[in-house]
């Protein structure tokens, strides 16, 4: 009984943390990365601590791992906005059921097959919907600046509530039913491709929490379609099938996340039957994805002011497996309004998750050539 009490006590803490902000309207990501996170002058910057991964090689800056030079936001440009695009509520039939998604088209988009654009599918978390993750991630604002299309699908309702939605991820989060959500995402992508000028080599998926859990299944089962996947505060169940082709992975996770602990959770069938999910640790997730992608370079790690960046690549295919670990980070989309309001002055408040996700996607189209994203820029070789 003592062991059971302790387990349920931790579950209760996780649930309280998860539902503490059920109506989050997070966001305004922008490029709000301040000096104390990753530095402003990478030519002169040196990390406070650099840790070498086991069997791997160290790196001296985030740029050494292929991530971009990020300048701090300047006062005279913080209010600058791209011309907003438009949102189109859309539905389609999947396995005899009507499913819904929100499609965002940037203002400069034209249905011209000679100029196809990337597609990013963003999967919301448990209890949310497509509109909510649009507001949290501000991915539409990024799309308006960069010229890509975004789709925000809705999961089906759970527990008979019209306000609570959850994806079928096969790990216990939907004890009442297990919808074909991978099929929904597959048909959604095909539906958008039929109607819009989409670059088939630039179809990407990002997810938050439960959305990331589905994202791992989508990346594995639709590896012929998806070029790269970004996981924010989520984890795989460990039961995903092996992808048929390489899919690059970026994971972003906080060490203080109580909802999806970075060390994973193996609940067992009893707790799974009442909606308490199981999932792998981040360490195991990265190791498994490296093996699936045939990554043949040792992980390179750099630690800077509360952020640990890890990256390794398959030099033949160009596939990359990378992660940002935020010291003390909670179950939030880093850089969002919610993260800044709940944890001001924290690493997660300043970390521009959306910007880094898009940069990662841009570097990993499906037809990626074997050029290594890990090569340091010339300015850093001295």
What is the pLDDT at residue 67?
Answer: 54
Sign of CA dihedral 41, 37, 236, 148: negative
pLDDT(314) > 50: yes
Residue 145 in tokens:
């600046």
CB within 8 Å of 91: residues ≥ 6 apart: 98, 99, 100, 101
Q: How distant is the alpha carbon of residue 220 from its chain centre? A: 15
- Ranking 84-98, 150-164, 247-261, 317-331 by mean pLDDT, the lowest is 150-164
- As for how many domains the chain has, the answer is 1
Least-confidence region, from 59-73, 209-223, 267-281, 363-377 = 59-73
pTM of the predicted structure, to 2 decimals:
0.77
Looking at residue 61, its pLDDT comes to 53
Cα 133 to Cα 25: distance, rounded to the nearest angstrom: 8
Which uninterrupted H or E stretch holds 151? strand 149-153
| CATH number of the domain bearing residue 150 | 3.40.50.1820
Q: Is the pLDDT of residue 148 over 90?
A: yes
SS3 for 68?
coil
Q: Which residue, 136, 160, 272, is CA-closest to 209?
A: 136
Burial per residue of 36-59, b for 16 or more beta-carbon CB atoms within 10 angstroms, e otherwise: ebbbeebeebebeeeeebeebeeb
Q: Tell me what pLDDT residue 278 has.
A: 72
Mean predicted lDDT score pLDDT of the chain: 77
Dist CA 312 CA 290 (whole Å) = 8
Decide if pLDDT at 169 tops 90.
no
pLDDT in tens, 9-29: 333 343 333 334 333 322 222
Percent of the chain with pLDDT over 70: 71
Judged against a pLDDT cut of 90, whether residue 214 lies above it is answered with yes
pLDDT for 374 equals: 32
Average pLDDT over residues 302-331: 94
Q: Is the pLDDT confidence value at 319 over 50?
A: yes
Among candidate residues 57, 61, 67, 42, the one with its CA nearest the CA of residue 379: 42
Domain ranges, residue 94:
2-380
Which stretch of 36-45, 114-123, 294-303 has the lowest confidence by average pLDDT?
Answer: 36-45
Per residue in 75-119, pLDDT tens?
A: 333 334 677 899 999 999 999 999 999 999 999 999 999 999 999
Strand 248-254 with 320-326, pairing: parallel
């Amino acid at each position: 009984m003592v062991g059971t009490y302790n387990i349920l006590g931790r579950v209760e803490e996780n649930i309280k943390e998860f539902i503490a902000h059920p109506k989050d309207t997070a966001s305004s990501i922008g490029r709000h990365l301040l000096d104390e996170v990753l530095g402003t002058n990478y030519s002169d910057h040196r990390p406070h601590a650099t840790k070498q991964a086991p069997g791997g090689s160290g790196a001296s800056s985030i740029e050494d791992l292929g991530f971009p030079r990020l300048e701090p936001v300047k006062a005279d440009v913080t209010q600058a906005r791209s011309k907003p695009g438009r949102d189109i509520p859309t539905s389609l039939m999947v396995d005899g059921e009507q499913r819904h998604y929100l499609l965002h088209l940037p203002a400069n988009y034209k249905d011209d097959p000679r100029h196809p654009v990337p597609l990013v599918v963003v999967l919301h978390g448990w209890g949310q919907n497509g509109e909510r993750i649009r507001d949290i991630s501000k991915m539409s604002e990024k799309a308006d600046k960069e010229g890509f299309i975004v789709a925000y699908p809705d999961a089906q309702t759970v527990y008979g509530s019209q306000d609570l939605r959850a994806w079928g991820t096969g790990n216990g989060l939907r004890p009442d039913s297990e919808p074909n959500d991978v099929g929904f995402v597959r048909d959604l992508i095909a539906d958008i491709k039929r109607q819009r000028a989409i670059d088939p080599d630039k179809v990407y998926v990002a997810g938050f929490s439960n959305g990331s859990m589905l994202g791992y299944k989508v990346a594995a089962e639709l590896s012929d379609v998806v070029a790269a996947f970004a996981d924010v505060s989520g984890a795989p169940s460990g039961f995903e099938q092996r992808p048929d082709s390489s899919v690059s992975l970026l994971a972003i996770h906080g060490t203080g996340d109580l909802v999806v602990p970075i060390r994973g959770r193996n609940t067992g069938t009893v707790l799974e039957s009442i909606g308490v999910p199981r999932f792998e640790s981040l360490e195991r997730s990265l190791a498994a994805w490296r093996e699936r992608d045939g990554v043949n370079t040792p992980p390179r790690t750099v630690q800077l002011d509360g952020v640990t960046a890890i990256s390794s690549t398959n030099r033949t295919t160009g596939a990359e497996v990378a992660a940002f670990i935020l010291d003390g980070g909670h179950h939030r989309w880093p850089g969002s309004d919610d993260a800044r309001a709940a944890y001001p002055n924290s690493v997660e408040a300043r970390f521009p998750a959306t910007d880094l996700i898009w940069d990662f996607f841009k570097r990993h189209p499906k037809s990626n050539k074997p050029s290594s994203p890990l090569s340091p820029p010339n300015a850093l070789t001295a």
